[in-house]
Amino acid sequence: MPSKKAVIHNLFSILVLVLSIGWATEICAAKPPFDKPVQQEILTAFGVGTTYGEFEKNSKSWPILQGGEVVGHTFETDSQVSIPAYSGKPVNLAIAINQQGQFVYGWVLEHHEPILLVGIPEQKLNDFAMQYVGHKVTEKIRVGDSDVGDGVTIDAVTGATVTVIVVNETILKATNKVAIALGLIQPAAEDHLPISKVKEDLYKPIAWSELTGDGTIRRLLLDRNQVDEAFSQTSANMVNKAKTQAEREEVFIDLYYTYLNAPMAGKNLLGESEYQWLMSELKPGEHAVAVMASGQYSFRGNGFVRGGIFDRVNLTQRSSDITFRDLDYYRLNDIYPVGYPDFDEMAIYIIRDQYNFDPGLLWQLNLLVRRQVGPIESTFVSFSGSYETPDQYLIRPTQEEIEAAKPKPLWVNIWQEKSFQLTVLISSLVLLLIVIFLQDWLIYYPKFFHNLRRVYLVYTIIFVGWYGLGQLSVVNVFTFVQALFNDFSWDLFYMDPFLFIIWTFTAATILLWGRGIFCGWLCPFGALQELINEAARKLKIKQYELPFRIHEKLWAVKYLIFLALFGVSLESMSTSEKLAEVEPFKTSIIFFFQREWWFVTYAVALLVVSIFTRKVYCRYICPLGAALAIPTKLRLFDWLKRRPECGDPCQLCAKECEIQAIHPNGEINANECHHCLDCQVTYVNETRCPPLVLANKKGKKTKRKLGARMSQEDRIEITELVDAKQ
């Protein structure tokens, strides 16, 4: 048999090893794979005292923590989307957003853009990314756009127009994806609507005038004066500016565009054979548009090269830009409607399936106009024309299809993702209910019952606490109260299924049996204290208990703490959350002691005290316990049995109750009881319970009358038996 000293040494070594592994894991998992300067700049952007949290798989991001609270998230765009830029490879950026859905930081981590590798400083692209700081994730942000309506414009990088257009799309799409995953914003309803289909059998030959008259073909006509006005507030104000009225009235570009998948547009424009060929080239989910123009300006441009991106024309739908590469382009040589005008250039562009284009929704064609202001410097503005496919060309989704396609609330997805964990949790709660219902049977098998309880407490610490982060807090009580007085929504509480299920179970058991079920079985920190104390008792470490008169007075402390915190929460939730650090739960359970030294010291001190006396924190300090004790007065059942001899003269259970929840008069205080059932095990033990021992000694007849009539001799004997059991 190992000595007591050796056992203590081994337990301490195991504790140090576990904590070291936890700390090492935290250090490795918490820091994102950015360069150290970028890591530090992100933390600096959020303020003093910020650190990185553990990588979140659902959002593929790293939380930013300040004082243990999440204040934002950072992520790599490559982990969210892959949108090829001019080089054919995506630009990877580090982006950070706060909990209000605002950009806090943007930086380029990797790119392969030839224009930035030679000629244009890379810092220009970093400066471009930092322009997003302060803007909302939900804002419509466009690059160098002259008319964005309710959106915002950010400056482009001179000479790298295509690159920054792709970077803008990358940032917006990646950030939107992360924000939705984090629940900071809700997905746009139209993003999940079933896509409208084209009526493939609807066709009749019609002339050019009819095609343009009914909206099948749309027009964007710009004269030089309109373009000059758009550049009037830029550095290119005087470049190529029209000087005479005749020049101002000259056509800059006369552009027409249409959606080709609809036979009324495609067949009339291309002819039967060319239309069938084009449709055969399209994969499922792909679409084609035609662009035709005449005038001084080319929408195709002279700078386009094979392998590149068209930098003068793109589309926008649902606030997302659709860009075209060389493989998305077909030359359009001939069109066939009667009465069509002459064009200088015509093209077909393919919208690939990655854009999830919906012909039933409004889209815009964007024309970017550039003016050179220096050897390599230029500026540009954008003009847009809207397009809406004529309704008669489409098969709209039915109401049933729309309802079926509506996105599930975010909390539903979270519950589905955690289905295994929740199944385990619910199964364990069902087991606990079975234990409570069968307690009158289980107490006759004390060894089995105590082992079952120990296993359950270990499960509570490891699975409910450290793994599931299911530690309840008094802050949850305040949040619920605040929600009742504001816009109450269950969705807020559904977002954390672990906590929701445990809270629901706790609320139900409080109304049925009192707070003891949670405090004695489901509180991870309480379980940790209890197992530490039980190990100390096994090692014969001396225990200390306060006299009951002092112990009873100290019960009030936790109620005073709760009332103080509750009062502060009515004025300021953020302040009450900070003061709620009186709870060591966040340090010991949620963050597994990975916090500032003063938090760790406080939590460890409470656990060290548990070596010498059971659950000091629970008995005298815990504001959550106080909050749960208040509705305990309303409990429906009291299944803890007592005899008339309990308290007078028998004091055995009162002396053995390790949290001193039994008054000297034998009454069990349900507000303080943790439902460990130790007193009930003693209650049925005929070799330990003094009244039963005396009754067995005197015979069954006396046993039946015990408690109704007791002699002074019996009272003395019971008292002696109590003293002998201690």
* pLDDT tens, residue by residue, 124-157: 888 888 999 999 988 878 776 555 455 677 766 6
pLDDT at residue 12, as a whole number:
46
Nearest in space to 83 (alpha carbons), one of 179, 156, 166 = 166
Answer yes or no: is pLDDT of 717 > 80.
no
CA 307, 309, 313, 314 dihedral sign is positive
Give first-to-last CA distance, the chain, whole Å: 27
Q: What is the pLDDT of residue 21?
A: 38
- The confidence score (pLDDT) of residue 718 equals 65
Q: Is 232 helix (H, G, I), strand (E, B) or coil?
A: coil
Confidence (pLDDT) at 161: 64
pLDDT band of residue 366 (cuts 50, 70, 90) is very high
DSSP β-bridge partners for residue 366 = 314, 384
User: Tokens 């001396």 belong to which residue?
Assistant: 542
Query: What does the buried/exposed string (b/e) look like for 278-291 if buried means 16 or more CB atoms within 10 Å of the residue's CB?
Result: bbeebeeebbbbbb
617-632 per-position pLDDT tens digit: 999 999 999 999 999 9
Helical axes 497-512 vs 623-632, angle rounded to 10°: 40
Token duo for residue 348: 């077909």
Mean predicted confidence (pLDDT) in 311-319: 87
Helices (H), 31-121: 36-46, 114-117
From CA 104, how far away is CA 134, in angstroms rounded?
6
More confident: 74 or 35? 74
Provide the CA 623 distance to its chain's centre, in angstroms.
27
Give me the percent of the chain exceeding a pLDDT of 70: 86
500 beta partners: none
| Cβ-contact 103, 134 below 8 angstroms | yes
Least confident among 120-124, 208-212, 637-641, 689-693: 120-124
Q: d(Cα 171, Cα 169) in Å, to the nearest integer?
A: 6
> d(Cα 640, Cα 337) in Å, to the nearest integer?
91
Where are the domains positioned within the chain?
31-185, 192-399, 410-637, 640-726
Please check whether residue 376 is in contact with residue 139, taking contact to mean a CB–CB distance below 8 angstroms: no
Question: If you average pLDDT over residues 595-608, what whole number do you get?
Answer: 91
The pair of structure tokens assigned to 384 is 């847009």
Enumerate the β-bridge partners of residue 90.
84
Average the pLDDT over 690-698 and give the result. 82
Nearest Cα to 358, choosing from 318, 386, 399? 318
Q: How wide is the angle at C-alpha 710 spanned by C-alphas 706 and 712, nearest 5°?
A: 145
Q: Which two tokens stand for residue 355?
A: 């854009």
Q: Residue 722: what are its φ and ψ, rounded to 5°?
A: -60, -45
Residue 578 has pLDDT above 90, yes or no: no
Q: Is the pLDDT of residue 293 over 90?
A: yes
Instruction: State mean pLDDT over 513-519.
Output: 93
Alpha-carbon gap, residue 229 to 599, rounded angstroms: 62
List the beta bridge partners of residue 222: 253
Q: Count, in order, helices (H) and strands (E) of the chain.
A: 31, 18
